[in-house]
Every structure is written in C-alpha cells, then in structure tokens.
Amino acid sequence: MEAVLSAAVALLDEAGQSALTFRALAARLGTGVGTIYWYVSSKDELVDRATDHVIGGILTAVEEQPQSDDPIADLREMAITLFDAMIDRPWLSAYFMRNTDVQGYSLRLYERLGQQTLRLDLTPRQRFHAVSAILGVVVGTAADLGAEPPQEVLDGTVNRVEFLNRYAESWRKLDPAQFPFMHEIVDDFAEHDDRDQFLAALELTLAGLRLQAGTP
C-alpha cells in the first residue's frame, strides 16, 4: 500500500488529478491494473488515500513543533505549515478532509488544531467556528492560488507581473468617483505577494480569535 500511495502522490505532483489513472499508476509500479484494485476500490478512494498519505507528513511536522505558552501563536505555526504544504502541492486542497472515514491523518490534524482552542476561554461553538475559520483561510487561499493559471502564463508568453499589471491598468482607467477603493489598492494589487496576502488574512482571523478569547 505504501508503494501504491507514493506512486499516486508522484503522479498527482507531476500533473494533477487528471494524470492519476489506474493504468498510469500500474505502469509506474510495473504491475497490472487489477493489482491496484487489491488496495483501493475506486479512483476517488485512491485520491483520498493519497491525500491522507501526504497529510501524514504534515501532521508529523505539526506534532514536532514545540508548544509555546500562546495557543494562538501555535495555531499560526500549524496553519502556516499546512498552507506551505498545500502550495507545494496544488492538488491537495481540493481533497483535504473530503472523506474522514479514509483520511485518518486529516482528522488527527483537525483534532490537533482544535486542541489548541481548548487552551482558550471559548464555548464549544466558538472553538468549532475558530478552527473552521482558520482552515477556511488556509485551504481556501491555497485552493485559489493552486488554480491553473491562464495558458499564456503557463506557456511563458506572459509572466505573473505582466498578467497582474494588465488588470491593474484596466482598474486605473475606472472612474475614481465610482471606484475609489479600486484606485486606492491598485498599486498594491499590481505588486502583491501571494504568501504575504495569506499571512495578512490569517493574522486578521487570529486577531479576532484573540479578541474573542480575551487573550492578551
């Protein structure tokens, strides 16, 4: 099973979900397609198990992080670890916690995040909302950044800066009386760093959690 999942992850890393077929996986392993069915019953199960295989490594990294006196700081480190792993593997965010009956590591990672909220003065509902909000920022941002860019960016005809500037220039032509916000942010948009944008969103979420928990 370890070899099957490692090969499945390699195919997903190389070309995404569309590249992961039982035929391609069997060829990678040097075996027949029928052999794969000894381990998984469908492609959906294969993708879910491959996802959990990767999450197992993330869970190990999270568990090795030293616990501080500040649970919110610990939540920040866990969230960043998960985000960086999802950015490295753009396919991962679409399947995280999709099937917790199969994804045991994902469930344990969710529990690990939740345990930090037990160190805060919150109600059960507030804890649930807090972890949901943090995962929403992490997984949602990673999924957005992991979306396949336009073909002109993929083939190198246009680089990222040129692509963003194309939008920025169109925003600069808008009527500032009708679109004052767009004019206010356009220069920052044109040169923004995606990871910095994620960190800012995460910080806003954690600041709200700190305020709600009454933690200095």
Query: Would you call 121 helix, strand, or coil by DSSP?
Result: coil
Among 18, 95, 15, 28, which Cα is nearest to 55's? 95
Mean pLDDT for the chain overall: 88
Structure tokens that stand for 55 in this block? 């999450």
Are 212 and 204 a contacting pair, CB within 8 Å? no
Q: Which two tokens stand for residue 47?
A: 């993708």
Give the C-alpha separation, 85 to 66, whole Å.
19
Q: Name the pTM for this structure.
A: 0.84
pLDDT at 216 over 70: yes
With bands split at pLDDT 50, 70 and 90, how would you rate the model's confidence at 150? low
Residue 161 scores a pLDDT above 80: no
Catalogue all structural domains in the chain, each as residue range(s) with its CATH number.
69-213 (1.10.357.10)
**pLDDT digits 0-9 by tens, 68-126:** 999 999 999 999 999 999 998 988 888 888 887 888 999 999 999 999 999 999 999 99
Residue 33 is predicted with a pLDDT of: 76
pLDDT of residue 38: 74
pLDDT at 152: 66
